[in-house]
Structure 1
């Protein structure tokens, strides 16, 4: 019952708030662009217009709507021309089978190499190469057919470019607000999940990788904005990293609560956690709606959001931290004889929650942060073609990852086109199409994409065939492409699985309109069989042809994560503010001190970001390694423990970024000494680890009786020592 209530609440929240983060306007525009050529194909009985519909869809996929119109037009024209040339050359070379197969390999090699320039240029190169491979698999050839396919592809691309630039557009301010809303929605979703399982008996609520992705998207949108950014969005660009640190600290406290719970106060403590996190999630959602609607925060609403935390702070101050009265957000009275540790834990949890609530609810200040403008270098590149050629040449000369991927894709493309032409099977081009999208830079990525493609192709074939059986009018069937194309473009912001489901249904229906021969179910079976053959070709090429194994990246990824986390932990535990106070002369101005502290804050935030990204990268390598191994991998298991411990270390020390001023001199000195010991242990060799581990354990047991150190200092010291010892235990099994 609890699970169903939580799931229902999550569904209602996704419907009421989550829909606003999807680019529905642009998706509907893309759906209309893709559906129009298909409708004309059905009305005019011109199957080649379906090829224009595919070209229009690919052009929409390649369109970067966040760039300037002139740049969008140039990029779209280049892709349309390259795709038209690829289609025309493939059809013209079809008369000579060997030539068509060889050119398919060359085009795939060139298209894959462009991926070294980034995801979007790589997508354009891959789609142009796919156009060649698909046309090379078509059972048509000749100069006239080549000209027709090239003209129809170019026409579809030009139609998409014109509509993308002429129809409704998102303004820069709307894009910034949408990206900021998406970040706040992800933050609120994370806190909501924590509120649903505050005791963490069901494991971690979610991965922080999604939060980091939303934060990167928001930063990119704000940086690329040509003019001034809305004050609320500008504030969140400055405060997002601090919010991530506070959230990591809250999650660390929740993890520590699992150990040695007190039955007398456990229920009341869980109620406190759930109520507090629920209030935080509601405040984040309200802030997100304010950003989306471009409405300034209401002072009365802000005060109402902060009142429970202010009342709790007043209770704590009045009680002198000796006996805590019942917090206003607590559902049940806490036991009067609650242990001091439990009361200190609640105090620390409410302190971090109050800081996050203040960050969310406070009114915007024009003095906070500078107005962000797009740098000139971000909007134009002086030598784009020369830089691209240099990057591709460097990949080939050094035999980099993308060079090996390009060779692998070229081989797979030639095999796929050969099978499609040799078998002369109906819908044989579907084999080449699947192969081009299946092959990925690493074997584990190929396996993951293959499983999604197989399921999506089967469901898409069934759905498209069912529509063909139910709808006998070709025009109505073409109109059904509109919701499928819209869903495909919108689902890109949700997940790869949903994107594949819509994409396959869309493509199958367009292909059915382009070749309306045979029964729908026969065509569905043919497409599924060809897709399975394409998957087999792609997986075999990834496994046999210069395979790229993630397991070889495990040790380097673990070493980088260890180094980044060690740097961050050492920087936070040692503290930057005391050093600056010691260096600064008495005559220095207060503004200069504040500027120096702000620089240190940004430096620590950068170290935390590097640590989080390195740990996320290690997690991705571990997941990929598991896909590569058919049996249990003990090294990957130890790496998982290492990754979890490193992630917890980041969460444990991150609250100190905002609590450094609350620590006294004794706490600072002890944490600084701990930083040196932990850093030495994490960077030690195998021979040095035993003695350093014993020294660190002795430090942990050297707690004086009746110590008056703050709970923050004692909690962080205990967690850091435990995490460092655990890391040192599993480190040899991963690195050595």
Structure 2
């Protein structure tokens, strides 16, 4: 018994030691990220401008996508992501008027984003985000060329704000080194572009699920249906087992986050004070991202809901929390169903390809 306790104590001490070594860097990045996400939300609350809420979301995604490495490479990568995200926003809002086009593009971009995930990590994650940005934008209420341009402009502003802050005011302590897309990566992508490869099948599942969820949201005019789209794109994994695990963890974190949101809405009635609460929520989400998906979603859910709420003139935090749960459940159910029905693979193959 004593030996068992000693082993357990040693394991806990090693875990705490590792966490203590990482904590200063994680906290530093998280605080900077929280500031990046909070400023556009405060502006949205003060100006009653819902488009600034989109800027806050853009700032969050852009901050996560900025790589490490030489400043010139980081600037180019970050600016490219901001411009691509703005174009994806414009294209998604503009395509609302043509549902078949929106559905088709969601399938194509979903395939490309999921397929790119199997390449370099610094390319794969932003690629999936860009596909998600387009699909989410197809669920906005208004459409038209000028409306699409306005949404794209606010996305670009949020992205430029995050880029400028991160690259001018923050030292890249914990960023992974910038790795250019090597020829071997392109060769790997070309070699796996076959109907039997794991990356291809993953892209196919995301394409099918993306087309279905975009069509469903547009056909049924789901309230805040972009949360369902977001869930589908971020839950689907290359294997059914990992998809199911991700689904359960995201749903559990979402439920915790919805409870936090309801408490905030019950005790806080000032839009500006609610906007200030975005800072600890964003910091918690960024720290939670380094801990686990449940913790991440527990803070990300109230962050997204509060960001959505502060820029609009109606609705309540509790109502938005219930909508978030409903749409997350719908997206999770669709993601798991597609993972089990479309060329299902429960676990990764030994070779990782076929």
TM-score by length of 1: 0.44
Structure 1 counterpart of 2:94: 92
Aligned to 1:37: 40
Determine the structure 1 residue equivalent to 2:310. 513
Q: Which residue of 2 aligns with 1:528?
A: 325
Aligned match of 1:161 = 163
Question: Which of 335, 342, 349 is residue 545 of structure 1 equivalent to?
Answer: 342
Q: Distance in 1 between matches of 2:331 and 2:179?
A: 39
Q: State the match for 1:25 in structure 2.
A: 28
Contact 2:282 2:299 in 1 (8 A): yes
Larger Rg: 1
Cα contact 1:26–1:169 (8 A) shared by 2: no
Shift of 1:517: 2.4
Q: Of 52, 55, 61, which aligns to 1:52?
A: 55
The question of whether the paired residues in 2 share the 8 Å contact of 1:487 and 1:502 is answered with yes
- On the 8 A contact 1:73/1:161 being kept in 2, the answer is yes
CA distance 1:479–1:12, change in 2 (3 Å): farther
Residue-pair matches, total: 349
- Provide the rounded CA distance (Å) in 2 between the counterparts of 1:46 and 1:534: 28
CA distance in 2, matches of 1:17, 1:388: 32
Per-residue deviation at 1:508?
2.4
User: What does the per-residue CA deviation read over 1:524-579, in whole Å, with 9 as the maximum and x for residues that have no partner?
Assistant: 212111110000110111111121232x84xx58xxxxxxxxxxxxxxxxxxxxxx
Residue 145 of structure 1: aligned partner: 147
What are the equivalent positions in structure 2 for 1:274-673 lying under 5 Å apart?
381=180, 384=181, 389-397=186-194, 399-550=196-347, 553=349, 556=350
Aligned match of 1:256:
none
d(CA) in 2 for partners of 1:13, 1:39: 40
Q: What is the root-mean-square deviation of aligned Cα atoms in Å?
A: 2.9
The 3-state SS of whatever aligns with 1:46 is coil
Secondary structure, aligned partner of 1:492: helix
Structure 1 residue 472 displacement after superposition: 1.1
Q: In the alignment, what sits opposite 1:600?
A: none
Q: Which stretch has the larger CA shift, 506-515 or 87-96?
A: 506-515
Distance 1:391 1:8 in 2: 44
Cα deviation, residue 93, structure 1: 1.0
* 1:9-24 correspondence runs (5 A): 18-22=19-23, 23-24=26-27
Q: Distance between the aligned counterparts of 1:463 and 1:516, measured in 2?
A: 21
How do 1:64-75 residues align onto structure 2 when only pairs under 5 Å count?
A: 64-65=67-68, 67-75=69-77
Q: Provide the C-alpha distance between the structure 2 equivalents of 1:416 and 1:58, rounded to a whole number of angstroms.
A: 21
- The answer to whether the 8 Å contact 2:48/2:311 transfers is no
Shift of 1:471: 1.1
Aligned partners of 2:14, 2:195: CA distance in 1, in Å?
50
Structure 2 unaligned blocks of 5 or more: none
2: distance between equivalents of 1:531 and 1:407? Answer: 21
Unpaired runs of 5+ residues, structure 1, are: 180-220, 225-378, 558-616, 618-736
Secondary structure of the equivalent of 1:472?
coil
1:435 to partner: Cα distance: 0.6
SS in 2 for 1:137: coil
State TM-score, norm by structure 2: 0.89
- 1:69-110 deviation line (CA, Å, top 9, x unaligned): 111111111111111111100111111111111111111111
Q: Is the 8 A contact 2:37 2:279 kept in 1?
A: yes
Once residues 5 and 151 of structure 2 are traced to their aligned partners in structure 1, the CA distance between those partners, rounded to angstroms, is 53
Question: Which has the higher relative contact order, 1 or 2, with Cα contacts under 8 A spaced 6 or more apart?
Answer: 2
